[in-house]
Each structure stands twice: as C-alpha cells, then as structure tokens.
Chain A
C-alpha cells in the first residue's frame, strides 16, 4: 500500500488562483520522497491538502491508504507535519510545546514524558528545554518545530522546507536525523531547496512547476535523462552579458557540433553536450576567433540542479533564499 497516492489533484483557491492543476504521483511506504519546485509552484498547497489542513478542489488523495477527507481523523494520527513557517507557541517552553502536541495526540503520563525528553535530546534542546521558546534562536525554534511533529511517532512525515534558515551544521544534523528516521521505516515527504541532500537521500522525487508535475523519478534516472555534461561559460565584461553579447556568443556556439542544449543562466550561458570535456578546446578556440573574452569555463556531470533548470527554466539557490528571508523578517512571506 503506497504511503501517499494522488490522482488528478486540483486546488483552486477562493480567489481563483489555480495552485495545483491536476497532479498525480505516488509515494511508496518507507520512501524518502523529495517534492521540488520553484517558488509558487504549489508545493505547500499540496502538503496542506495531504495533511488535511486544506480541502482539495477535486481529484483523489489517499494517505496511508485512507481517503484524506473521509478519514481525516485517522490520517491525523498517522502523520506528522512541519509547516514552512515555523510554528511554535513562544509563550511556552520547548518542553511544554512538545507536551501539548503529545496531549493533543492522546499521549499521556510517563510514556509521553519520556518521549519528550528523548526528542529534546535528539534535537539538541536538552539544555534549553525549560526556557521560554521566545528566547530560542531561529534554528532552535525550527528544531523544536520538527520535534513537535514527531512526538506521536508518525508513520508518514510531511516536511515543508525543514532546513531553510538553518546554519550548515544544524542543517546537516537535521538531514542525518531524517535519514535515521527513514531507516526506521518512516516515510518522509519533503520539500526543500537543498538539491545535494535530495540527491543523496531521496529515493525518488517529483518536480512541480506552475501547479503541474514536470518530472518525476529517482535522482539517477532524472540525471541520466539529461544525458550530457554541463559546460558553464562566464564572460569577462559583465555577467549575464548584455543582450547582444549573449546573442553573439550563442551564434558562435551554434556553429559548433555536439551541443544538445543552450540555456541562459544568471552566471552566463550553460550548454549541455555529450562528452563535454572534449568540446572545451573547440569552444575556447571559437570564442577566441570571435573575439569574445571568456572569464571562466567549467565542465561538470549533470546534477539535480541541471535537472531542475531543464524542467523549470530556473535555478534553486538556497543561499539567496535564506538571505531574502532573513532580511524580510518583519514582513510575512507570501503563502
């Protein structure tokens, strides 16, 4: 029985926004599943529907074999959810937050107390457990939020960008903890901007763009679909190059053989080619002849970044997202 099964799922918000336009996918029991997509793709909307918070407009959605709206109460006992915006009660201590969550999941007494102690240690909040969570750092809050979704030992965990805003060290900790949870049999459904971790940990993933699934499969499948190496070209006078420079460069590249795709990117131009290494001297020579100065040239085998870029025409940049979120602390993010 799949942990999550979705068919033709549609969500149209009250204001007419079509956030999810008939998506279908399946997550197997025990899978570590990545759900990727650029901003506004509909990831959070999908998670909210699957976790019974939001009503779907149409389509089929089962979680743990249960129809999410008909069996909502049963589903809620089996899942844990961490929303994109950190949600804890800042007037309560870390411990109290977890206890409340456990109580609402019908846990009681010693069993709950022990579970809470165990989780506080796991997320490294043992020392701050009895401090008001208002005084926690952003990362501590995020970790507390994660712990609060785990109190009742859910079978399926839904995580909406759980590591965004964490420093690299805590991020690595969270990922390795998630890996451990997955090894104990927990199904993990995660949206994230961190493609390297997705590549390492997710068994399968889906890419969502404008409310539609544009690719799905295992990381290696998706990367091999690209079937070419990536060559990144940087230009001397200025990045993304002025329009004319870029056009000229593209003309130059067009005259070369073996190139499968030319894509604009913020850093310059990205080309995909089979056996990219062999093409480098040709490229350099061609640009020399055309008197266009290259500042850098890099060859790499395809990554999930390339997969993402190919299917969405955009690139995920976690660092920039972190920065924009940090500077936008006072305004709430668009949901």
Chain B
C-alpha cells in the first residue's frame, strides 16, 4: 500500500524539518506560554467574577486551542515553500502517491499540535491546572485539539496552494486569530460578554471545541458538549479539506 508508506515518509520529512528549526517551535509555543503565565495572572481577578474559580484553570482550554489555531496556520506557508523551491515538483516526478503529499503534511500538523498541547498541559499542571477527568481526560483533550488543528490546517493549506504566497497566508492568519479568539469562549465565559458577542461566540467554532475541553478539565465527562464539538470540527474539516483537495488538484495537474 504505497499511500500509507509514502505518507509516512512525507510525515517523517516534515517532522525532521520541524525539529531542525527550533526557532519555529519556539515562536509558536512562546505565545501560548505568555498567555498561560502572564495573561492569566493579569486577569486572575476574572476568577472571582466567574464565581470564585482559578482563572488559569478556566483559560487553559482556550490557550491550548489558540496554540493549535496558530500552529496550524503555518502549514500553508510550508507548502508555499515547497512550491517555490520546486520540491513539490520533484516529488510529483516520482511515482509517490499524490494524496500522500497532503496526508503526510496533515499528519505532521496533527502530531505537532498534539505534542505542543502536551507541553502546554504539562506547564499548566505546574501552575495548578489538574483536569478532573484525569488521564483519560488528557487523552481526549489532546485528540480533540489535534483534530481541531487538522481542520484549521486545511484552511491554511488551501490558502497557500491558492495564493502561493506565504505573506498572504500569514497576513490572513494574523488578522483572523485574535478576533476569532476574542469572540469565542476561549478566554471569557459567555455570561460576562455583551449580548452581540454572546451570539457571535455561540456560532464560533472555537467556542464548541473550547467548551468540550473546558468541561473535561473543570466539570467532568459531558458527552453532549464533547460530541457536539466533534461534529462541528468534522464539519469544518470536511469544508477545509474539500477546499484543500480542490486547490491541490489544480496545482498538481
């Protein structure tokens, strides 16, 4: 089965590239860590507003997702590099399965988000964030985040393949990140939002994923919110992957 083995070798290539560019890893981890350490301290009094909880515990779900969101956006720029350098063409001149080129990249995105989220959760643990669902909770959180990252990678890949410009991908990513984050339940409970924002955040896909993860950390197993978030992420994944495959086919043919 060459799709599986080809995807594995593509995945391996991306992982090597990632660990050999620690600066990239540093930058994408830097922001969530700042949020985790400084932002939560600065806004620790929100905990009182939210009914006497630890704000760091509250915000961890949002921070983990924000990290997934911004890491996933680097995917498109990596593919732009491959187009510009001609490496994509070089791979296309081999009998490697075309789908493996995308699949390998997506797997590496998911794995990366998984690993980075783990680092953040370990740090959070040090700051007193202990998910009440324990080990199983950790596993569910990590898979949800990785799945979420995968779905967002699709947007960035489709943009990269379409515009073939890293600047454009970065620009759009930078513009989208904070509005989407702030208009979700990532950092604030919906009870404390103005009405209009409450309605926006209710439809914001980030909110669904955040709620599922937050429940696993603070409340326990809430299968309703968990399955709902998987439904929403799946929907996004189908849309973004559809766009990515469509753009990829245009580039490849």
Contacts and interface: CB of A to CB of B under 8 A. Distances in A.
Contacts of A91: 16-17, 20-21
A77 B95 contact: yes
B93 A81 contact: yes
Given A76-B95, A104-B95, A96 B87 contact: no
Interface string A77-117: 10101010101010110001000110111100000000000
Interface residues of A, number: 25
B2 A87 contact: no
A55 B87 CA distance: 18
A53 B9 contact: no
Contacts of A296: none
Interface string A26-39: 00000000000000
A106 B2 contact: yes
B86 A85 contact: yes
A152 B90 CA distance: 14
Given A92-B16, A100-B13, A104-B6, A53 B89 contact: yes
B96 A104 contact: yes
B93 A53 contact: yes
B161 to A, nearest CB: 16
Interface in B8-41: 9, 13, 16-17, 20-21
A76 B96 CA distance: 9
A73 B95 contact: yes
A83 to B, nearest CB: 6
A76 B93 CA distance: 6
A68 to B, nearest CB: 12
Contacts of B96: 104
A54 to B, nearest CB: 9
Contacts of B93: 51-53, 76, 79, 81
A53 B92 contact: yes
Contacts of B94: 76, 101, 104-105
Report which residue of A52, A91, A105, A148 has the largest number of chain B beta carbons within 10 angstroms of its beta carbon: A91
A103 B9 contact: yes
Given A52-B93, A76-B94, A89 B17 contact: yes
A79 B94 CA distance: 9
Interface string A286-302: 00000000000000000
B95 A87 contact: no
Interface residues of B, number: 22
Contact of B13 (A77, A81, A92): A92
A76 B92 CA distance: 9
Contacts of A76: 93-95
A232 B28 CA distance: 64
Interface in A120-170: 132, 148
Interface string B230-251: 0000000000000000000000
Contacts of A106: 2, 5, 95
Contact of B86 (A87, A96, A105): A87
B17 A105 contact: no
Report which residue of A73, A81, A100, A132 has the largest number of chain B beta carbons within 10 angstroms of its beta carbon: A100
B224 interface: no
A96 B92 contact: no
A87 B9 contact: no
Nearest to B6: A104
Nearest to A77: B95
Interface string B145-166: 0000000000000000000000
A22 B107 CA distance: 43
Contacts of B48: none
B78 to A, nearest CB: 11
Interface string B103-137: 00000000000000000000000000000000000
B253 interface: yes
A93 to B, nearest CB: 9
Contacts of B85: 87
Nearest to A76: B95
Interface in B30-77: none
Contact of A89 (B5, B13, B92, B253): B13
Report which residue of B20, B90, B91 has the largest number of chain A beta carbons within 10 angstroms of its beta carbon: B90
Given A73-B95, A103-B9, A104-B95, 11 more contacts: A76-B93, A79-B93, A83-B86, A87-B85, A87-B89, A89-B13, A91-B17, A100-B9, A104-B6, A106-B95, A132-B20
Interface of A: 51-53, 55, 73, 76-77, 79, 81, 83, 85, 87, 89, 91-92, 96, 100-101, 103-106, 132, 148, 332
12 contacts: A77-B95, A81-B93, A85-B86, A87-B89, A87-B90, A91-B16, A92-B17, A96-B16, A100-B9, A104-B91, A104-B96, A148-B90
> Which 4 pairs across A and B sit closest by C-beta, in order of nearness?
A104-B96, A87-B86, A104-B94, A76-B95
